[in-house]
Amino acid sequence: MPAARSFRPLALVLFAAAACASAPGCTVFANMAYWMKGQVVPAKFDGLESKRVAVVCLDANSLGGPGGEADAVARAVNVMLARNVPKITVVRQSEIADWIDGQNQEVTDYTDIGRGVKADIVVGIDLISFNIHEGQTLLRGKANVHVRVYDMKQGGVIVHEEQPREIAWPENGARHVTENEANFRANFIQELSFKIARDFYDYEAVQDYSIDANHLGAN
Which CATH code for domain 43-201? 3.40.50.10610
**pLDDT value of position 172:** 76
The answer, yes or no, to whether residue 8 has pLDDT greater than 50, is no
CA distance 165 to 162: 8
**For residue 198, what pLDDT is reported?**
95
pLDDT at position 75 is 96
Q: What is the pLDDT of residue 215?
A: 47
Rounded Cα distance between 174 and 186, Å, is 15
Nearest CA among 148, 190, 184, 144 for reference residue 168: 144
In this prediction, residue 67 has a pLDDT band, given cuts at 50, 70 and 90, of: low
Would you state the pLDDT for residue 175?
Answer: 73
Contact yes or no for 12/20 (Cβ under 8 A): no
Reduce the DSSP state of residue 205 to 3 states and report it.
coil
Q: Which residue has the higher pLDDT, 144 or 106?
A: 144
Residue 171's pLDDT is 79
Helix (H) or strand (E) holding 99: helix 93-101
Contact in structure between 200 and 81 (CB atoms under 8 Å): yes
Buried b (16+ CB within 10 A) or exposed e, 20-35: beebeebebeebbebb
**Confidence at residue 120, expressed as pLDDT on a 0 to 100 scale:** 98
Using one digit for the tens of pLDDT, what is the confidence trace for 94-105? Answer: 999 999 989 988
pLDDT in tens, 30-64: 455 445 456 888 999 999 999 999 999 988 645 55
Q: Decide if 9 contacts 35 (C-beta within 8 A).
A: yes
